[in-house]
Amino acid sequence: MNTRFVRLVPLAGIAYLVLEVAGNGSIGSFPDGDATIGKLLPFYAKHHSGIARGGALLHYAAIALALLAVALWARLRDSGVNPVLSAVALIGAAIATADELSGAAVYSTLGFIGGKEQVIAPAALQAWHVNGAGGGAITGDGGLALLLVAVAIAGISARAFPKWLAWSALPLGLLQLTPLGFFAQLVFWLWAAAAGSYLALRPRTA
């Protein structure tokens, strides 16, 4: 495979940041999970196209995340860390990507059915909305937690990553499954862009 192309793969971290911002911006202010049917019907009648567009962009964001995660895993593998740690990072990447794709699919579906109130039962729309709103409890992502903690350990113990990248990954990973997980995910967008830029500019030499 072309070496120059491989070196560009980590730049998917920048694409991930851009797509997340664009996708969530297109979705806009999303009603809470306990919103009534009376509020949801006019909301989706007005915003369903933007939500569908946001869901499509988030699908591409999930692909960009997968590419960045592969680049992180490859650096882990090549650094000689324990294979178990490398496997944890890969599993975490798979879970995180699946979670991103699942969320994108929900928004795409909401955008598609939101403008069809004469066809879709209001109760069905509300059920999908609760799913998109996180059931009223927005948390982080367990897959990201595994990936980030693995990166942190590899960077701190084996110097597979620079200290600033490793030490910043540790709290981001630990916060994923706390009530602050939503905010940790927002910070992760920036971390992903920074990590991808570093990996592209400073490839590991053989």
At residue 6, the pLDDT reads: 73
- Residue 109: both structure tokens together: 């579906």
Residue type, 47: H
pLDDT in tens, the chain (206 residues): 456 667 789 999 999 999 999 999 998 887 776 777 767 777 777 888 888 899 999 999 999 999 999 999 989 888 888 889 999 999 999 999 999 998 898 888 888 877 665 556 777 777 776 766 664 444 458 899 999 999 999 999 888 899 999 999 999 999 998 888 889 999 999 999 999 999 998 876 54
Residue whose tokens read 């491989």? 6
At residue 119, the pLDDT reads: 57
**Residue 177 contacts residue 142 (beta carbons within 8 Å):** yes
- Residue 191: both structure tokens together: 């971390």
Q: What 3-state class would DSSP assign to 34?
A: coil
C-alpha–C-alpha distance, residues 167 and 186, integer Å: 17
- DSSP string across 48-86: HHHHHHHHHHHHHHHHHHHHHHHHHHHHHHHTT--HHHH
At residue 66, the pLDDT reads: 96
Which residue ranges make up each domain of the chain? 7-201
Residues 6+ apart with CB under 8 A from 116: none
Q: Tell which residue, 73, 58, 72, 44, has the closest CA to residue 15.
A: 58
Residues 6+ apart with CB under 8 A from 121: none
Residue type, 111: G
**Residue 125 contacts residue 114 (beta carbons within 8 Å):** yes
Residue type, 45: A
- Strands annotated E in the chain: none
**Residue 64 contacts residue 100 (beta carbons within 8 Å):** no
CA angle 20, 26, 29 (to 5 degrees): 100
